[in-house]
A and B are shown apart, each in its own frame.
Chain A
Amino acid sequence: QQQERRTYIVHMAKSQMPAAFQHHAHWYDSSLKSVSGSAQMIYSYDTVVHGFSARLTAEEAGSLEARHGILAVMPELRYELH
């Protein structure tokens, strides 16, 4: 289960983006790569959320959550039509 990948939405504190990054997308990408060499970003968000969604293992999600500038790493939820 620890190695099973699922989708997480990663919320970032944009104000904490290191100066070395010129664009938030680079910072998001770097943050993802820092915990996983193989995880793919699904979406990068910048208007209603600062962050991205990606397929991660629980271990990778935990590692990401502990990094500077990460506000929350939340498992994806499924919604239903009413």
Chain B
Amino acid sequence: TTRTPEFLGLDKSSSLLPASESVNEVVVGVLDTGVWPESKSFDDTGLGAVPSGWRGACESGTNFTAANCNRKLIGARFFSKGYEATMGPIDVSKESKSARDDDGHGTHTASTAAGSAVDGASLFGYAPGTARGMATRARVAAYKVCWLGGCFSSDILAAMEKAVVDGVNVLSLSLGGGSPDFYRDSVAIGAFAAAEKGIFVSCSAGNAGPSSMSLSNVAPWITTVGAGTLDRDFPAYVTLGNGKNFSGVSLYSGNSKGTLLPFVYAGNVSNATNGNLCMMGTLDPAKVKGKIVLCDRGVNARVQKGSVVQLAGGAGMVLANTAANGEELVADAHLLPATAVGEKSGDAIKMYLFSDPNPTATILFEGTKVGIQPSPVVAAFSSRGPNSITPAVLKPDMIAPGVNILAGWTGGIGPTGLAVDDRRVAFNIISGTSMSCPHVSGLAALLKAAHPDWSPAAIRSALMTTAYVAYKNGGKLQDVATGKDSTPFDHGAGHVDPVSALNPGLVYDLTVEDYLGFLCGLNYTSSQINTLARRNYTCDPSKSYSLYDLNYPSFAASFDSTSGGPTTIKYTRTLTNVGAATGTYKATASSGSAGLKIAVVPDTLSFSKAGEKKSFTVTVTGSAMPASTNAFGQLEWSDGKQTVRSPMAFSW
């Protein structure tokens, strides 16, 4: 990716980052649509021999042989038996029955996590710079599990099984949609086994935001990643015939003449009831030819709307957000001059369209702008808490860059993914929690290299407790969906800060035993635990299992709004000293609500050696509140140099 290394501070901190030899040993496995091995992001120049413990392979198939792998791309497997069992044999004229990526998504995620540095990268000149993965020296293993018809759980399980056996250190899954029950969810099941073997598993939180309780991949042994913006934008302005300007975004590659053209609303140049959406075949070419068309966002793909306008003879498109998307602007590499505008601008433009007898407009493309503030802001599409399955575990865990991310792309299709798009690009700019997840996967690879003895939970703790929730000017992280402060239900512990995560001081660690106790707390039966964790495990009937005692780096709960009185929850946590041998940390708990009282005992922890563990309790008392009330707080442990911060989130 371009810009995200700078945005995350990776460019200025080479002395703090792990030595390249240790990162060389880390393998990031990516379960996705495969990989385009010819991408320069998988150039292996300067990389040493493949890690000695690596047991993976490069499987041959359609347009893919072992020769496509190298010392960067060290594994490439495909899993299609489950897909073919349901969908029938793969038509190799439409998709490669191999690890070759015909879609682009897998190449994008793999190169984001661990792609080599590529100078002179851009998409049609947009987002120029040196594109690199987060862990440029780490190795990549691609496991293709997603096909034209979707990603099937039997294939996902088979791929996770192979990845574990192959010896990956980090698994990155930018997909979701499983069952709410962990023991039915193949990703949660596979991730449990992976975590047990010391493999860090990061997953995308989902793109179902800004609705609350819209998360995917919420098992506590998974690191769940939401999406935020960068400080980069691609402005493209709409100028109306009345002289008014509205800002939008676009990745359109051609030039604009800058002359005013006739401007129409799609709903007025179509006989279809949903003509405003610019669905395929709904626009009347006689009324569209040579004009700029305003289409409303929703239902069909954004880039397809542009194609529909182009096919109808339109000269340009303004894509207007509706209430569902608010002011979030996602840039696309449209086939015709086009720009996306927010709901407010869209409404204002429509007012002009409906009131002026001869409306005109032009679109001006301004290229790439960096330094946009505030940034990051939580993306509207990023899925939100509360965690509907286990409210005691706050999800997402954190956010990372996921909006307008440039990374490697397949040579198989154009940047829009449309069949009519015959352009081919080495890099593409796309958005989603799919893009934020591999950022964290790559950063986890860096942490793994720096601290080979850390467990996946310790790595996640380091990433979470050092994440930030305020801008440098002190303002709180914003949510583009509301234009207001974001909350832990939106950003989890905050935006990832990898340089701080390298040296967190203390971590909240977790073992498989802790997760099994958590499953007992969920009242799972022995059979359900065996299904998920592959072992006979009986919860001790004499023991009281509390979900609040899972040693998670955040605190959450759902209070009963009908209880009529205050509710008290007691959490127990243990911190492990991974910093200097000695240190005294003081607790500071704060709440943004009068309805919350937080007490920490003891409020001072003194460590006298590395690896030492110290426990404490947090008692949270929530007043009686109406249903749907949310309240937030935070707990910080600080020795004056390092601060270990945990978010607190409560719902009624």
Instruction: Please determine whether chains A and B interact with each other in the same assembly.
Output: yes
A residues at B contact (CB < 8 Å): 6-7, 9, 11, 13-15, 40, 42-43, 45-50, 53, 55, 71-72, 74, 76-82
- Contact between A81 and B152 (Cβ–Cβ < 8 Å)? no
- The CA-CA distance from A57 to B220 in the complex, in Å, is 34
What 4 A-B pairs have minimum CB-CB distances, sorted nearest first?
A48-B193, A53-B154, A82-B204, A82-B434
- Interface flags for B322-361 (1: CB within 8 Å of A; 0: not) read 0000000000000000000000000000000000000000
A82 in contact with B157 (CB, 8 Å):
no
List the B side residues contacting A55 at CB < 8 Å: 85
Taking a contact as CB atoms closer than 8 A, the residue among A6, A11, A15, A81 that contacts B174 in the complex is: A81
Given A7-B82, A74-B184, A78-B153, output 8 extra A-B contacts at Cβ < 8 Å.
A47-B193, A48-B190, A49-B190, A49-B534, A50-B534, A80-B176, A81-B151, A82-B204
Q: Are B178 and A82 in contact (CB under 8 A)?
A: no
Check if B534 sits within 8 Å of A7, measured CB to CB: no
| B32 part of interface (Cβ distance < 8 Å) | yes
Cβ-defined contact, B434 with A76, below 8 A: no
> Which among B85, B146, B151 has the greatest number of chain A C-beta atoms within 10 A?
B85
Give the total of B residues in contact with A, Cβ under 8 Å: 52
Measured between beta carbons, the chain B residues less than 8 angstroms from A46 are: 161
User: From DSSP, what is the main secondary structure of chain A's interface residues?
Assistant: strand
Contact at B206–A82, with CB atoms within 8 Å?
Answer: yes
Instruction: Report which of A42, A50, A82 forms a contact with B154, defined as CB distance below 8 A.
Output: A42
> CA A78 – CA B184 in complex, angstroms?
12
* Contact call A47/B154, Cβ cutoff below 8 A: no
Say whether, besides A6-B86, A13-B530, A80-B175, A49 and B189 are in contact (CB < 8 Å): yes
Q: Is B194 an interface residue (CB 8 A)?
A: yes
Contact present for A53 and B165 (CB under 8 Å): no
20 contacts between A and B (CB under 8 A): A7-B86, A9-B157, A11-B530, A13-B527, A13-B530, A13-B536, A42-B82, A43-B157, A45-B158, A47-B193, A48-B157, A48-B164, A53-B82, A74-B184, A78-B177, A79-B156, A81-B175, A82-B175, A82-B434, A82-B437
Q: Which residues of A contact B160 (CB under 8 A)?
A: 48
B216 interface residue (CB < 8 Å to A): yes
CA distance A78 to B433 in the complex (A): 18
B residues near A71, Cβ cutoff 8 Å? 527, 530-531
Q: Report B-chain residues with C-beta under 8 Å of the C-beta of A43.
A: 81-82, 154, 157-158
Q: What secondary structure prevails in chain B residues at the interface with A?
A: helix
Most buried by B among A43, A55, A76, A79: A79
Q: Which residues from 173 to 189 on chain B have a C-beta closer than 8 Å to any C-beta of chain A?
A: 174-179, 183-187, 189
Q: Please pick, from A48, A53, A72, A81, the residue contacting B32 in the complex, using a CB distance under 8 A.
A: A81
Residue of A50, A72, A79 touching B153 (CB-CB under 8 A): A79
Q: Which residues of B contact A14 (CB under 8 A)?
A: 534
Closest Cβ of chain B: how far from A4's Cβ, in Å? 11
Cβ of B207 under 8 Å from chain A: yes
Q: Is B105 an interface residue (CB 8 A)?
A: yes
Distance, CA A42 to CA B175, complexed state (A): 22
Nearest B residue to A41 via CB reads B81
Q: What is the distance, in angstroms, from B389's C-beta to the closest C-beta of chain A?
A: 15
What residue in chain B is nearest A46 (Cβ atoms)?
B161
Collect the chain B residues with CB atoms within 8 Å of residue A9's CB.
153-154, 157, 186
- Tell me the minimal C-beta distance from A76 to chain B in angstroms: 5
How far, in Å, is A72 (CB) from chain B's closest CB?
5
* Chain A nearest Cβ from B452, distance in angstroms: 22
Q: How far is the CB of B555 from chain A (nearest CB, A)?
A: 27
